[in-house]
Amino acid sequence: MRKIERAEIILKELKKLYPSPPIPLDHTNAFTLLVAVVLSAQSTDKKVNELTKELFKVADNPEKMVKLGITGIYQYIKQLGLSNQKSKNIFHLSRLLVERFNKQVPSTYKELESLPGVGHKTASVIMAQVFNIPSFPVDTHIHRLSQRWGLTKGDNVIQTEKDLKRIFPSNEWNKLHLQIIFYGREYCTARGCDGTKCYICRTLYPKRKSKFICKKP
């Protein structure tokens, strides 16, 4: 089966399962989504949502977050991994938004990635979900499934992103990255599927009998 044929099967199945996938991180505006994505690094979306529910009640814009201060931010997110560094990043990115960007989340990769704690993946999420610019953020789920499905060799997330962008049409990217995440959490999990068990893996590789070993990002 050719790569383009596998891509068509994947798209068809994911559209059937997740016709309108929601953004898994709770937010009320561009700023709170940016903060939530920064906090989600090495943390589960579920835990981030639990903690930001209270944080965003007191600080849902850059000015309020700056007033809260590093220590104040930390008190709300201390249960997260890397909470000390995340508190600093959230404070300093909020201050930069106030000082340099008129309290608005910027709409270019260069400007977004100039903010503390914001790397390419986080910037891609904001470009896709806030500004509707075709983007393909690659997280651990997408990196794992892309390898299992023969869409990339998985050398690194940068290469995986390039490979996926070559295979799928750009008008599918913003929704597709969420669809793959949800499928990876529900069906093609890290431990629950080894490349031979879920529907898509079995359909794409019906003769695969042994466990598929994925490269870590």
Tokens of 39: 């906090």
Helix, strand, coil shares of the chain as percentages rounded to 5? 60, 0, 40
What is d(CA 166, CA 136) in angstroms, rounded to the nearest whole number? Answer: 11
Other CB atoms within a 10 A radius of the CB of residue 60 amount to 17
Catalytic residue numbers? 121, 139
Nearest to 187 by CA among 200, 205, 174: 200
What is d(CA 10, CA 148) in angstroms, rounded to the nearest whole number? Answer: 12
Residue 150 region by backbone torsions, left for phi larger than 0, else alpha for psi between -120 and 50, else beta: left
CA distances, 3 to each of 43, 92, 147, 205 (Å): 32, 43, 12, 12
What is d(CA 164, CA 135) in angstroms, rounded to the nearest whole number? Answer: 10
DSSP 104: S
What is d(CA 205, CA 212) in angstroms, rounded to the nearest whole number? Answer: 11
